Amino acid sequence: MKSEQSQRLMERARRTCPGGIHSNVRANWQPTPMFYDRGQGSRVWDADGNEFIDYVLARGPLLLGHSPGPVIEAVKRQLDRGLMYAGQSVLEIEAAERFVKLVPCADLVRFSNSGSEAIHAAMRLARAVTGRTKIVRFEGHYHGWFDNAFWNYAPPLNQAGPRESPQPRPVSRGQVASDAENLIVLPWNDLALAERAFAAHGNAIAAVLTEPIMCNCGAIMPRPGYLEGLRELCTRHGSLLIFDEVITGFRVSLGGAQQYFGVTPDLATFAKGMAGGFPVSAVAGRREYMEEFGTLTVTHAGTYNSNPPCMAATRAALDMLSADDGALLKHAHAMGEQLMTGIKALGRAAGRDVHVRGVPTAFFVSFNDREEIVDYRTSTTRDRDAYGRFWTALQERGIRTIPEGLWFVSTAHTQADVDETLAAVKEAMGA
Ligand SMILES: Cc1ncc(COP(=O)(O)O)c(C=O)c1O
């Protein structure tokens, strides 16, 4: 695989940008953090002219593939009519109407730009409406990079503290240690430990914040009854249940993971997948809580919030997703299902101890798991070196996936893509 252009561009980028990248999450690509030239549908081309079937999908936002036609057309139409007014537009009403129709918990919605902002808003709102400060969060869950939320994402196990009560650990230098006073960190998927935390701190807990599927850390599914148990605990103790649906929203089902599992949170956050790749996020939830933003006593703000081109993209993307009873999403699930089944079968046929978990539009592949993967700590038993070799072999064969093991499938992936991918998987398993 050629990478000379990417390497040259990286050297040039480093002269004006720390590390040559504008998000630290993009650092871990080999042989170099790569530069891309264009994307269309399920395909992406890098600066060296290499073509890939893309299962990275910008780490999730391209649920409709690269540059989906109706979204691009809707944005183009708006571009000639103005970018922002610091005032309202009909587009944002139309986007919100479509949004609340699809999402079970969403009596009301507020739009912003990134998932991190939406999480920030949800945590603030939960604290405001309960008058409490503590947020229960789980080891290995990623809720964005803001100070309040960027804790215990991937702590080294020798610094993580006991499994039952993990030590709160900031991820980045520069975070404030005292923020830990307002966090209770728990292992995920263990209802007994959540019950214990509520027994000890129930009247101080503003909210439980959780990904309904632990996507970033292994596409780990909730154990039967776990989300229902968290729901019941929150209700009993007057705390809010917040689902971080930044990845699962509109992808797992049209109504997100809350619809898929039949568990309705009080608040939920959305981003990747709701606007065809444009930067839009949302915090949504029960009217009685969300109205607090409307009283102006709880601040949710942002110069770029609900800007018309992004609202045009949201309206068009939600229309595409809901058309024909969700036919596009059903197609993506069918493609993903074939990939999941095919990767498992090809791994076994090659004598590899391969594991495939999650849902067809967001699944995780790993090798040599030493125990059942149910939370962050068990997820660390997977063999990263083996996956790294598999990842490289796939990339060399024109299949682009996230280095850690997560695969996203879009509505633009075709049967031919799946067939080509599985042929490459077969070779890569052998390699
Ligand atoms: C589950 C989850 N929550 C929140 C975020 C933060 O979103 P953003 O990167 O748009 O700030 C991410 C990003 O990967 C995510 O996966």
Q: 112 pairs with which residues across the strands?
A: 281
Are β-strands 362-367 and 354-359 bridged in parallel, bridged antiparallel, or unpaired?
antiparallel
Give the pLDDT mean for 93-108: 98
pLDDT of 31 > 90? The answer is: no
Smallest CA separation from ligand 1 atom 3, residue: 143
pLDDT in tens, 219-257: 999 999 999 999 999 999 999 999 999 999 999 999 999
Q: What CATH fold (topology level) applies to the domain 69-321?
A: Aspartate Aminotransferase; domain 2 (3.40.640)
Of 55, 142, 376, 387, which one is the catalytic site residue?
142
Looking at the chain, the domain(s) classified CATH 3.40.640.10 span: 69-321
Q: What is the residue-averaged pLDDT of the chain? A: 97
Non-local CB neighbours of 419 within 8 Å, separated by 6+ positions? none
Residues 257 and 133: their CA atoms lie apart, in Å, by 26
Active site residue 272: yes
Smallest CA separation from ligand 1 atom 5, residue: 144
Of 134, 190, 266, 272, which one is the catalytic site residue?
272
CA 150 distance to own-chain centroid: 14
Ligand 1: lining residues by beta carbon, under 6 Å: 59, 114-116, 119, 142-144, 211, 215-216, 244, 246-247, 271
> Which atom of ligand 1 is found nearest the CA of 215?
1
pLDDT in tens, 88-100: 999 999 999 999 9
Cα of 352 to ligand 1 centre, how many Å? 32
- Residues above pLDDT 90, as percent of the chain: 97
Non-local CB neighbours of 108 within 8 Å, separated by 6+ positions? 100, 284, 285, 287, 290, 291, 294
Residue 431 has a pLDDT of 84
Best probe residue, ligand 1, of 150, 246, 283 (max atoms within 8 Å of C-beta) = 246
Is the pTM of the predicted complex or chain greater than 0.95? yes
Residues 387 and 368: their CA atoms lie apart, in Å, by 9
Looking at the chain, the domain(s) classified CATH 3.90.1150.10 span: 4-67+326-430
Residue 232 has a pLDDT of 98
> Which atom of ligand 1 is found nearest the CA of 271?
10
Cα of 5 to ligand 1 centre, how many Å? 30
Question: What architecture is domain 4-67+326-430?
Answer: Alpha-Beta Complex (3.90)
> Which atom of ligand 1 is found nearest the CA of 248?
1
Residue 29 has a pLDDT of 77
Residues 307 and 82: their CA atoms lie apart, in Å, by 9
pLDDT in tens, 264-291: 999 999 999 999 999 999 999 999 999 9
Cis peptide before 162 (omega within 30 of 0): no
pLDDT in tens, 11-28: 999 999 999 999 999 987
pLDDT in tens, 41-77: 999 999 999 999 999 999 999 999 999 999 999 999 9
When pLDDT is cut at 50, 70 and 90, the band that residue 144 belongs to is very high
> Which atom of ligand 1 is found nearest the CA of 119?
4
**C-alpha separations of 330 from 18, 224, 336, 359 in Å:** 41, 24, 10, 12
DSSP string, 80-135: TT-S--SS--HHHHHHHHHHHHH-TT-SEEEEESSHHHHHHHHHHHHHHHH---EE
